[in-house]
Amino acid sequence: MKIITVPIPELFSYGQNLVYLKRSPNECMYRIEADRIYKAISLGEANAVIEVSEAEDGGLRVEIIGGVAEQYYGDNILEAIEEYVVDWFDLKRDLSPFYEIAASDPLLKETVDQFYGLRVMGIPDLFEALCWGIIGQQINLAFAYTLKRRFVELYGRAVEANGELHWLFPKAEDIALLTVADLEPLRMSVKKSEYLIEAAQNIVSGKLSKETLLQGECLKSAEALLVSIRGIGPWTAHYVIMRCLRFPSAFPIDDVGLHNSIKHITGMDRKPTKQELLKLSAGWGGWESYATFYLWRLLY
């Protein structure tokens, strides 16, 4: 048994992030029981199954409960796990500028109070983030979770710990070799199957990587590279930049969920137009992804 404690920043609420993580009972990339999160993570060659909970001092208690034999717990593994958790919960972000903006924003003012301490939870694995974006296009969330589960259970790998199975997301290397016929049992559109396979091929070929996308820390160039790939439009590009690359200025402005949130919070009888969205978000400068993430929370 090995335990590490990850310190948390100001303006962080474990409970709020937990509520977000619990949003679908059909989630297959982690399991939550008694406010503890169980997840298998891939660390290069090694895997680990971790249990995350709130430590008594408010930090995050991370226990390795499987996936890697104890004699292999080197400092590098422990560091990699801590890094993963820091990235996953976006713990390096100083939220105070966002809350300052939100305090005088009509859409965000009460929203940030309601979800105080919520972070944009990440999807650190680029291929997983891309697939989740592609799978989620133009279908309802419940069906998206079902498709993801089928995909993971068919082509991912399970790691056992304490008698439970924990799934690792399929690897791009494996998916790149498939044909659309191999994805037919998932019952998603043929186009989506093509997009998933092509995304995998672009990662395997090296055209697409987290390193390349982060180069220069330029949202515009990352967006341009993502959009150049078939099946990735502006929405998916910004979604990936938000959840995986973690630019706080990513802004999936075409998102139907965001439109519904704004319709709900303003009491409009219709969804906002693009012009209205631009006007309403004009003051979010640099924090669009946090604004979007908080507004999404109004939907469930």
Binding residues for DNA, rule: CB under 7 A, are 23, 133, 136-144, 146, 187-191, 227, 229-237, 239, 243, 254-257, 260, 274, 296
3-state secondary structure at position 211: helix
The C-alpha atoms of residue 33 and residue 163 are separated, in whole angstroms, by 14
Q: Please, which residues have CB within 8 angstroms of residue 10's CB and are 6 or more apart in sequence?
A: 94, 95, 96
**Nearest distance, CB of residue 43 and DNA, angstroms:** 25
Least CB distance from residue 115 to DNA, whole Å?
A: 14
> Where are the extended beta strands (E) located within 151-240?
157-161, 164-168
> Which is nearer to DNA, 64 or 195 (by Cβ)?
195
Least Å distance between CB 217 and DNA?
21
Catalytic residue among 90, 105, 125, 255: 255
Give the nearer residue to DNA in terms of CB position, either 42 or 236. 236
Residue 267 phi, psi dihedral angles, 5° rounding: 75, 15
Residue 144 or 222: which CB sits closer to DNA?
144
CA-closest candidate to residue 236, choices 221, 251, 257, 248: 251
**Least distance CB 185 / DNA (angstroms):** 10
The whole-angstrom separation of Cα 283 and Cα 261 is: 17
Closest distance to DNA from the beta carbon of 258 (Å): 8
Q: What distance in Å separates the CA atoms of residue 47 and residue 289, rounded to the nearest whole number?
A: 30
- Residues facing residue 160 across a β-bridge: 165
Question: Any idea which residue has 């704004």 for tokens?
Answer: 262
Quote the CA–CA distance of 65 and 50 in Å, as a whole number: 6
Q: Exposed e or buried b for every residue in 211-221, given b needs 16+ CB within 10 A?
A: eebbeeeebee
**Identity of the residue, 19 or 141, whose beta carbon is nearer to DNA in the bound complex:** 141
255 counts as catalytic:
yes
Please give the sequence-ordered ranges of beta strands (E in DSSP) within 7-124, or none if there are none: 31-33, 36-43, 46-54, 60-66
Residue 71 or residue 138: which is nearer to DNA going by CB?
A: 138
Q: Catalytic residues, which ones? A: 255
